[in-house]
């Protein structure tokens, strides 16, 4: 008799709401409810060319996919407010490295207004709050060389041309 009451209690469980995941007999979730959801906004696509932009954020991080250090600079385009990013390579060593011919060092000199002294830290903070003339171009290929579909093409800052303010 006690087994019948337990079985009856299991039968009376509430049904899931229509927007909840429902496992199938195989234990897998099916239906539209289990589809992935886009987490962020699409990357912007601008006409390629020279623009004025303010650097609003800078970060140096280790990119595990490419096993290298990178600097990402976030630019806000003047007049439109669109945010476009610039990625600068800082090498594969144990620590970030900006050699004398690196694009990061070139951009840092433009931001700082002078060459670095010996043993000076080339901080990414030198970019933040300054307005630059930047060259924007489209990214048409993936990291592995395959073409992006038309809707996935996006713009990035390819080069910092010069500092305009302050």
Residue 9 has pLDDT above 70, yes or no: no
As annotated, the residues of the chain forming the CATH 2.40.50 domain(s) are: 49-165
CATH placement of domain 49-165: 2.40.50
Confidence (pLDDT) at 34: 78
Who contacts 51 (Cβ-Cβ below 8 Å, separation ≥6)? 77, 78, 133, 134, 136
pLDDT digits (tens, 9 = 90+) for 42-76: 889 999 999 999 999 999 999 999 999 999 999 99
């Amino acid at each position: 008799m006690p087994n019948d009451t337990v079985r009856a209690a299991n039968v009376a469980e509430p049904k899931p709401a229509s927007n909840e995941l429902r496992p199938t007999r195989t234990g897998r979730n099916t239906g539209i409810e289990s589809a992935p959801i886009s987490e962020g906004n699409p990357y912007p696509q601008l006409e390629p060319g020279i623009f004025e932009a303010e650097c609003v954020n800078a970060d140096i991080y280790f990119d595990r996919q490419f096993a290298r250090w990178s600097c990402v600079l976030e630019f806000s385009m003047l007049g439109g407010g669109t945010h476009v990013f610039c990625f600068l390579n800082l090498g594969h060593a144990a620590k970030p490295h900006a050699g004398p011919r690196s694009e990061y060092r070139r951009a840092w000199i433009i931001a700082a207004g002078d060459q670095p002294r010996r043993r000076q830290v080339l901080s990414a903070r030198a970019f933040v709050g300054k307005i630059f003339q930047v060259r924007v171009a489209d990214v048409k290929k993936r990291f592995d060389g395959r073409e992006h579909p038309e809707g996935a093409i996006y713009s990035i800052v390819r080069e910092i041309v010069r500092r305009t303010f302050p």
